[in-house]
Chain A
Amino acid sequence: MQKVYREEWIGEFRFIEYEDYSPARPSYMIIALPDAGLVSVIAASHMIKKLGMEEVGGVDSYTYLPPVIVVHKGNVRPPVRIFTRDNLLLIYTEFLPASAAIPALVNSLLDYGARKGIDNLVCMTGIPIPNRFEVDKLRSFYVPSNPDVDRVARGLGIEPFENGFLVGPYAILFKEALRRRMNAVMFLTESFMEFPDPEASAKNLTLLSRFVGVEIDVKELLEQAELIRLRAREHMKRVMPNLAQMRKEYEYAPPLYT
């Protein structure tokens, strides 16, 4: 039986903490939600293992999240899980709620982050390209929430994402972060839309590693890429209808006004 240290309702979401914890400062909240190529979730999963992050809580909702429990090493966990180490707080879920539920989830997560004294929000996901099959060298971009973040991200040697559409859970997350005037950055690496893409995950992790100043070795992720793709097939299949419902294909379209 999982010990519950504290629980709190934020909106329709029940936040459970298994122990008292508080990220060191300056703190970074990383939110990993299923999206194009499962880039974010694959990266986060690797990061949890490599950094030995501790699972300290979870989020559940009978209204907005699927009726799921995750059984991990015999322990029952809610569908959204919270991990931490030092100044990092990672929100991780392999289940994408229906598009109508995402704003409520995102707002509750950001409220929770604010209560935990989070200084920075980091999103990392894939930006699908139709010719991904042909591309060996993946390009990465960033979207900053303010000039300070822009300066730091520019120092990573990647270009800002200047024109285009972003659709899906990270679009909502970033809009809310902007509305709250948070320090936030979104790393976007070219990826497949419909196939799991651990190579893109590794590229994003390299950027994250430099942005937060924590070494995350991606060698094993790249070596295991094929087996991760094999294992992630079922998840990718389940996520695709949700992405289609959100009209994710708009990301392929160039904007008319640039």
Chain B
Amino acid sequence: MSGVERLSSPEDELEEIFRRINELRRRIESFVEEAVRRSLEGTRRQAVEALRPLWSSEGVLEPLYSVRDTGREYVVYVDLPYANEGTIDVKFIGNEMVIEARLKSEVAINGWHKRYQETKFHSYRAVVKLPVAPDPRRVRIRVRKGVIQVVIPKD
């Protein structure tokens, strides 16, 4: 016995077939629309990311960082040149790592007249998306020559 409900007349069966075809078409259209929307959103995000500067006129610099998967751990390196190492602060919020640090002293970019609106930079701030939500108690952090290494165990 099949799971298909037996209908009373050929007309009803035909109507049921059309209803199912329409439902299938609606699902396919919805799937394609969602795929296209996601693809366009990804392209838009990439373009925005590529065009975004690593500084703000409020005097905050965004550091360069990289995330490596070493098998048993994720290792994040953040380049914080000229940061006051005593002020480096790392927080974890879900699967985001927030890094903040003050510079050793305020820095103006010489030789780039007026492009920074004569901003003086005082700190770094970055929000790094991680592949996992780490347990902060198990995270190991080291700093050498203005580069910070954050080791996040996977298990």
Contact = CB atoms under 8 A, between A and B. Distances in A.
Contacts of B66: 194-195
A51 interface: no
B54 A237 contact: yes
A237 B49 CA distance: 11
B64 A236 contact: yes
Interface string A217-240: 000000001111111011011000
Interface residues on A, range: 10 to 19
Interface in B47-100: 50, 53-55, 61-64, 66, 68, 77, 79, 81-82
Nearest to A229: B81
Contacts, number: 46
A133 interface: yes
B149 A195 contact: no
A241 B113 CA distance: 28
A81 to B, nearest CB: 15
Contacts of B144: 133-134
B54 A234 contact: yes
B149 A233 contact: no
B147 A195 contact: yes
Interface of A: 130, 133-134, 192, 194-196, 225-231, 233-234, 236-237, 241
Interface of B: 50, 53-55, 61-64, 66, 68, 77, 79, 81-82, 107, 109, 144, 146-147, 149
